[in-house]
A and B are shown apart, each in its own frame.
Chain A
């Protein structure tokens, strides 16, 4: 939900209320320097690295679960607005509020690509074979880049404004963009040729992701629902029950059976709101994650099935495991 990072200055997957201890377990405290509060974080799909965008404009990486500090990156002159690991965890894309972007190899720390896209980077997607980069940009069309040669392939324009979330299909054949004009556009990933458009959504979509088998494109946003689209036709095939909060972020489990959805309150992003674990088969809520004083700022279903969430505390980034 990058747009809200812009509005709030911090990333809020708002979690508050009550969570029973057996559902949420603190597994690691990662220390950050004073005045370097973590704004949002990303966990590599293997669960071996945690990256945090900090208030001092730096990205800090730790090995997980050891907690050993690994690397520190920055964009030199601007705060961080987007982080994305490649699926194999070997690349980390970092974007800034004024359009600077860099891709580093991890954990080598070798800079692979440096670019600028003219406006705030809202989100990234990296193709499974790591040859393509898709960029959601604020108020400007999304872009498709060839990582290997550092070349812009094409813009992916909406009717107006920019893109909020973007994702490659697991086979690397399709690219889906949730655009601010409320349309969902599905492209041929290699060329950026438009293949399908879904105009069913009246409000903006903030999160998008393919199921691991590539057969469903899940999305959620200001309409307070999670929907599934057929990635070939672009048609809406399923809608989960509407909630009272807005969907801010989605993460789909590796077996495709669960979706973790982080919600926020449209009447104030910092108000309490839950993270829900949905059972995909029944479209029902399996677990409501809530705990007083706890605000998650990132999360990831790991390859081994675990769900990790991260949250900020004074002088540290906390990593939680959800059963």
Chain B
């Protein structure tokens, strides 16, 4: 867009579309009402969270828990929080959220359920998981946490969370996220907020989970 050209509002663009015939409105309601509804619908649409492969060590029947980290567990404490909703923005309080990851050394527990669980959702479908920063699994490039979310009437979501602080990205996940061939979407690499003090540091990450409606 030329620098001297004033930016159009979304509304102005829509009205121009109508004027130029790019949008034809065929409805009993006035054009303004239809444009309002169109704008609202677009605003309400949430992009689904990109899927990512399940990985070889999913284990079903994990216990319901929001606390993976036991007292004294080594590794950087990690809190992952977010909300489960659909592309329409509906909070999916009835969703089942399963999360699993390695310990801080990159080992999965196949015999038990350490660092595995069904994470509870509150009345707004929000979750908060208390864990540790996973280690690098020997045959994967990046640190990651697995998520599987199911909800009636929605396409199951299987995905993975990655960390912007992962040394593999060398501080530049925008350019380097494909160093892990399994990361197909930059969106899955989330910023990490470090809180506390150097003696008691904790990592915090937001990871929203948006499901497609069937």
Contact = CB atoms under 8 A, between A and B. Distances in A.
Interface string B167-205: 000000000000001100000000000000000000000
A267 B107 contact: yes
Nearest to A161: B54
Nearest to B113: A202
B194 to A, nearest CB: 29
Contact of B53 (A139, A266, A269): A139
Contact of B56 (A7, A139, A202, A224): A7
Interface string A1-20: 00110111100000000000
Contact of B60 (A4, A181, A270): A181
A180 B54 contact: yes
A206 B138 contact: no
B132 interface: no
B53 A6 contact: yes
Contact of A159 (B51, B53, B55, B156): B156
A258 B158 CA distance: 37
B158 A161 contact: yes
Contacts of B57: 203-204, 222, 266
B43 to A, nearest CB: 30
A203 B57 CA distance: 7
Interface in B73-108: 106-108
A202 B100 CA distance: 14
Contacts of A180: 54, 58
B209 to A, nearest CB: 13
A279 interface: no
B110 A266 contact: yes
Contacts of B56: 3-4, 7, 204, 206, 222
A203 B139 contact: no
A56 interface: no
When A and B form their complex, which 8 residue pairs have the shortest distance between CB atoms, in order from nearest? A160-B156, A268-B138, A161-B54, A269-B139, A3-B56, A180-B54, A182-B60, A203-B59
B210 to A, nearest CB: 16
B140 interface: yes
B154 to A, nearest CB: 11
A204 B106 CA distance: 19
Contacts of B148: 160-161
Interface of A: 3-4, 6-9, 138-139, 159-162, 180-182, 202-204, 206, 222-224, 246, 266-271
Given A7-B140, A268-B139, A270-B138, A159 B58 contact: no
Contact of B110 (A160, A246, A268): A246
A123 B140 CA distance: 21
B67 interface: no
Given A160-B156, A266-B108, A7 B58 contact: no
Nearest to B102: A267
Given A3-B55, A139-B51, A268-B139, 13 more contacts: A7-B182, A8-B139, A138-B53, A160-B54, A160-B148, A160-B158, A180-B58, A181-B58, A182-B59, A204-B58, A206-B56, A222-B110, A271-B138
Nearest to A223: B110
Nearest to A221: B56
B54, B55, B138 — most chain A CB neighbours (10 Å): B54
Contacts of A160: 54, 148, 150, 156, 158
A98 to B, nearest CB: 12
Contacts of A269: 138-139
Given A139-B51, A160-B158, A224-B110, A202 B139 contact: no
B59 to A, nearest CB: 5
A46 B179 CA distance: 42
Contacts of A271: 138
A4 B181 CA distance: 13
> Residue among A4, A9, A181 with the most chain B CB within 10 A?
A181
A257 B58 CA distance: 32
B9 interface: no
